[in-house]
């Protein structure tokens, strides 16, 4: 283990703390000057109370004198602290790499290469593994990003100015100019409204995602490859990596924006069509810009080097394809054949999409083949350095982004598909149309009978019901795109709340209706992956049996083995087909508590991987992780280490939701770091999983028992009589459900039940009120019950738990939630519950469990939290003073706003924006929503 991974031995911690505090004081001083210059001295004073010197002050009890302005000021102050922490972390990583070498930073290429070689893996084995890696972050517009894109853009400007100041080359006058720019940017941030006054539409969310795909991620790809090559050399490998796209890990991006229609009525077939078109436009722009740069660089003259035959032949072929326009292109740069060839490629790239391969680039495959000609022609004239430095980065850009930038997934709830089938049954005149109520045996008999025929179920041009029209309209868009592009840019068909085999087979039936599922000599097949999403604890238990039946189904076997497009990695390196399975962390947590939920996800992955292996298939797990620990978040490298042995075979997808996109990827340095963690971690863990591993049965039995007991303790709370009444009053859930964060409704159907409530507002409400309850509740009671009732198994956890990657990961994340929770503030929010008996009953349960969980985690880790995690303790302390002032003001606002609503006072509507501003300010301070 690297010395830097133990905080007690980390010599750079003092540097981190000093840098954070100095930079924060400097920015606070600058924003306070700006505010005072704008005529707000009291607000400037409020900013001075949240600096490092006031981090443990009692002045938070002072009320806000100018509430809206001071809340805005505190929100801005926390936004600046978040930037300072991000920059301090980045600069500390650079310093550690400079002083201790590239193998010391946890989770990155250098440390992973060193560990793999220490474990006996050869350079050849690692190089081979690199070629089999396929990692795909999937960007979603989940409603957890409370900041407007305009504010996020200002954050990016400030971050770049802070990085600029790190450079020691500037003269005093130049540094003063940079400070002026910082103050000007801070003034713009101060004058810019923070909250959404109306819900963003899907187009706005799509534009935000496209900004990252178009403007942010492309700049990171070359840096990622450079860091891989540098770490490879630092590991002592004599043979460098060959600079060909197929020799590097495959990075892709996915998107749900415009495709995720689960409980989202605004995502229509037309929105999906527009999304695919916009993504194509972005892809053509990004690749066009890269090719134009290459065109400006490949100024080789034919007078000094004869163009090889392969280049001349390719130019003739492209000229024939493009027709008269080619002659115009070839009249320019007549002595520079490489530039002429790139110009021909550019002409073809910008042609409108059509079914004719010769007239346009339908997908990236043909473009990569034409670029390969450039690389090989340079190799043939001895210009390999130019091929490596100029052409390879463009090839990688094409390989990573393609012409669509990202794969658009389509997600829909299984119950909605059932309603679509009922529409079709009604149209066909069936006597019994209640498909959703049919027993599984009857559903399967009907589906298998229908799927044996290639004919559509519904008559052509027949009027469809709402659900059938929505699903079939979407699938028709996908079928049209598939015919034009061969499938590039199309992701998976994901079924939320998969609970039985028929939920998956229904998709084949619906896809057949519009020709998305096609007929072959052997029978029906589906060219797009049909992906189950298992979310609740019960569904995770059933998942292995459902997947096994699904893999044995003839249509699935045909789709996986013969007909699914292989261009984007549906086949593993060993030739086996790959079945994608999505596992959700949010709903399982909501129903089972954090430890039981994550243990059930862990156990399901292990069993699913075994089931797939028995059927000659690899599982590609798609992890539906949110931005909080209770929704699956946590340090990337620790998460990967905690995966069950054998479950990672090189293919890995995960969601990047809402606020996590800006936190991880808004800035190039931080974004490159987070992508490197993913690529390096997946490569390393894939190799480690390829070797046999003996499981510790005693430890697994102890974990199973602990999971059951934590689930028991958590369930006792959430099913307790009137618990939802307590939650509704003791948290700002009512205000959150009226917020304008995200375009999607907070409930799937609008019913106010635990089952219908989405996990995001559930977590968001507990976070805002400083309970953080979904992130830790049940762990303390579960451990204590295990200790009392099964002491031998508890002893196993004491002896081995801290070294078991899964338990260490979950408990560390739970501890982060515990540290962020605050009993005094819990009590203050609970005071909003007017029923005293109700308030005292649940508050006592929660605070007792809080203390117990903290104590039991310390017992497992054999040391108190403050000693083990000084960095977290310090950063929480920096936020404490300002957050307490905000929380106390929010509680007053909630009390007044609720009283007005109950009295029918029209002023309640005018108070709501102020309540939402308090939510936004607290989210900035906590650096999380849901």
Active site residues: 142, 590
3-state secondary structure of 32: helix
Half-sphere exposure for 401 (CA within 13 Å, toward CB): 31
DSSP secondary structure letters along 145-182: --S-HHHHHHHHHHHHHHHHHH-TT--HHHHHHHHHHH
Query: According to DSSP H, which parts of 801-835 are helical?
Result: 805-820, 823-830
Helix (H, G, I), strand (E, B) or coil at 742: coil
DSSP H or E segment with residue 207: helix 202-211
Cα–Cα distance measured from residue 248 to residue 683, given in angstroms and rounded to the nearest whole number = 11
Q: Are strands 407-413 and 530-534 parallel, antiparallel or unpaired?
A: unpaired
Residue 104 φ/ψ, nearest 5 degrees: -100, -20
β partners of residue 652: 135, 621
Cα–Cα separations (whole angstroms), residue 388 to 242, 289, 313, 343, 371: 9, 19, 22, 20, 12
Beta-bridged to residue 295, according to DSSP, are: none
Residue 285 vs residues 289, 290, 291, 350, 474: alpha-carbon distances, Å: 6, 9, 10, 9, 26
Question: Which helix (DSSP H) or strand (DSSP E) does residue 16 occupy?
Answer: helix 13-37
H-helix segments, 559-667: 586-592, 594-614, 636-641, 659-665
Three-class secondary structure of residue 150 per DSSP: helix
Helix, strand, coil % over all residues of the chain, rounded to 5 = 65, 5, 30
- Return the H-helix or E-strand segment holding 657: strand 651-657
Query: Measured between alpha carbons, how far is 851 from 838 in angstroms, rounded to an integer?
Result: 20
Give the number of C-alpha atoms closer than 13 A to the C-alpha of residue 803, restricted to the C-beta side. 7
Nearest-angstrom CA–CA distance, 137 and 216: 14
- Residues 61-70 as b/e (b if ≥16 CB within 10 A, e otherwise) read eeebeeeebb
The total number of residues shown for the chain amounts to 930
Q: What is the DSSP letter of 68?
A: H
Q: What is the CA radius of gyration of the chain?
A: 29
Instruction: Tell me whether strands 523-525 and 250-251 are parallel, antiparallel or unpaired.
Output: unpaired
SS3 383: coil
* Cβ(526)–Cβ(516) below 8 Å: yes
Residue 387 Cα distances to 118, 144, 225, 309, 851, angstroms:
34, 43, 15, 17, 62
Report the alpha-carbon distance of residue 398 to residue 408 in Å, rounded: 17
- Interhelix angle 805-820/870-903, rounded to 10 degrees, is 50
């Amino acid at each position: 283990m690297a010395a830097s991974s133990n905080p007690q031995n980390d010599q750079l911690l003092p540097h981190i703390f000093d840098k954070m505090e100095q930079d924060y004081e400097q920015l606070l001083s600058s924003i306070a000057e700006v505010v005072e210059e704008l005529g707000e001295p009291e607000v400037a004073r409020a900013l001075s109370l949240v600096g490092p010197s006031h981090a443990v002050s009692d002045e938070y009890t002072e009320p806000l004198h100018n509430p809206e302005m001071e809340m805005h000021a505190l929100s801005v102050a926390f936004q600046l602290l978040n930037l300072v922490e991000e920059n301090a972390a980045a600069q500390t990583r650079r310093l550690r790499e400079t002083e201790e070498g590239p193998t010391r930073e946890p989770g990155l290429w250098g440390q992973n290469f060193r560990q793999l070689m220490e474990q006996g893996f050869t350079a050849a084995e690692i190089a081979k593994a690199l070629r089999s890696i396929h990692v795909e972050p999937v960007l979603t517009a989940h409603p957890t990003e409370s900041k407007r894109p305009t504010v996020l853009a200002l954050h990016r400007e400030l971050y770049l100015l802070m990085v600029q100041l790190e450079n020691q080359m500037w003269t005093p006058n130049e540094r003063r100019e940079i400070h002026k720019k910082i103050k000007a940017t801070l003034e713009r941030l101060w004058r810019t409204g923070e909250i959404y006054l109306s819900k963003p539409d899907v187009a706005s969310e799509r534009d935000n995602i496209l900004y990252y795909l178009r403007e942010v991620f492309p700049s990171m790809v070359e840096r990622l490859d450079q860091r891989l090559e540098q770490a490879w050399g630092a590991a002592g490998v004599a043979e460098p990596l060959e600079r060909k796209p197929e020799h590097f890990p495959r990075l892709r991006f996915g998107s749900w924006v415009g495709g995720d229609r689960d409980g989202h009525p605004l995502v229509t077939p037309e929105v999906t069509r527009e999304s695919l078109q916009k993504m194509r436009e972005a892809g053509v722009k990004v690749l066009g810009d890269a090719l134009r740069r290459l065109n400006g660089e490949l100024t080789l003259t034919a007078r000094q080097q004869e163009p090889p035959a392969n280049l001349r032949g390719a130019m003739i072929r492209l000229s024939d394809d493009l027709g008269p326009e080619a002659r115009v292109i070839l009249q320019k740069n007549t002595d520079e054949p490489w530039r002429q060839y790139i110009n021909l490629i550019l002409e073809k790239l910008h042609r409108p999409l059509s079914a004719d391969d010769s007239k346009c680039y339908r997908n990236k495959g043909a473009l990569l083949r034409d670029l390969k000609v450039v690389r090989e022609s340079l190799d043939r004239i001895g210009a390999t350095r130019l091929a490596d430095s100029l052409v390879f980065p463009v090839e990688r850009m094409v390989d990573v982004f393609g012409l669509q930038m990202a794969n658009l997934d389509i997600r829909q709830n299984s119950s909605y598909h059932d309603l679509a089938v009922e529409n079709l049954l009604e149209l066909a005149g069936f006597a019994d149309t209640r498909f959703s109520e049919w027993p599984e045996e009857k559903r399967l008999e009907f589906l298998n009978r229908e799927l044996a025929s290639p004919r559509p179920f519904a008559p052509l041009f027949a009027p469809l019901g709402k659900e059938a029209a929505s699903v079939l309209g979407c699938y028709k868009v996908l079928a049209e795109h598939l015919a034009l592009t061969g499938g590039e840019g199309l992701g998976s068909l994901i079924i939320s709340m998969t609970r039985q085999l028929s939920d998956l087979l229904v998709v084949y039936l619906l896809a057949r209706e519009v020709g998305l599922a096609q007929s072959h000599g052997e029978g029906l097949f589906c060219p797009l992956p049909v992906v189950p999403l298992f979310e609740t604890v019960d569904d995770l238990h059933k998942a292995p049996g459902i997947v096994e039946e699904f893999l044995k189904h003839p249509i699935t076997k045909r789709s996986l083995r013969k007909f699914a497009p292989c261009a984007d990695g549906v086949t593993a390196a060993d030739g086996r087909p790959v079945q994608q399975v999505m596992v959700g962390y949010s709903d399982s947590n909501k129903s089972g508590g954090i430890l039981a939920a994550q243990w059930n996800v862990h156990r399901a992955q292990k069993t699913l991987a075994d089931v797939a292996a028995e059927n000659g298939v690899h599982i590609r797990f798609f992890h539906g992780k949110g931005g909080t620990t209770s929704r699956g978040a946590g340090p990337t490298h620790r998460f990967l280490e905690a995966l069950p042995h054998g479950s990672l075979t090189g293919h890995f997808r995960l969601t990047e939701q809402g606020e996590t996109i800006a936190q991880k990827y808004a800035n190039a340095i931080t974004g490159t770091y987070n992508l490197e963690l993913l690529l390096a971690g997946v490569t390393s863990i894939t190799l480690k999983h390829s070797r046999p591993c003996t499981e510790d049965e005693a430890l697994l039995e102890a974990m199973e028992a602990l999971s059951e007991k934590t689930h028991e303790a958590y369930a006792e709370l959430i099913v307790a009589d009137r618990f939802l009444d307590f939650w509704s009053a003791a948290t700002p859930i009512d205000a959150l459900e009226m917020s304008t964060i995200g375009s999607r409704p907070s409930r799937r159907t609008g019913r106010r039940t635990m089952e219908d409530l989405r996990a995001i507002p559930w977590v968001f409400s507990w976070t805002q009120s400083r309970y953080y309850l979904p992130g830790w509740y049940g762990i303390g009671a579960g451990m204590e019950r295990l200790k009392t009732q099964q002491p031998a198994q508890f002893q196993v956890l004491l002896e081995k738990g801290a070294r078991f990657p899964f338990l260490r990961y979950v408990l560390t994340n739970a501890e982060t939630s515990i540290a962020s929770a605050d009993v005094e503030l819990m009590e203050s929010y609970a005071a909003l519950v007017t029923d005293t008996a109700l308030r005292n009953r649940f508050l006592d349960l929660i605070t007792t469990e809080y203390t117990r969980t903290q104590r039991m985690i310390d017992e497992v880790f054999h040391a108190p939290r403050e000693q083990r995690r000084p960095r977290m303790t310090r950063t929480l302390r920096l936020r404490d003073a300002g957050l307490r002032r905000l929380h106390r003001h929010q509680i007053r606002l909630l009390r007044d706003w609720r009283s007005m609503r109950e009295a029918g006072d029209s002023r309640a509507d005018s108070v709501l924006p102020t309540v939402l501003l308090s939510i936004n300010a607290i989210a900035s301070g906590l650096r999380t929503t849901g």
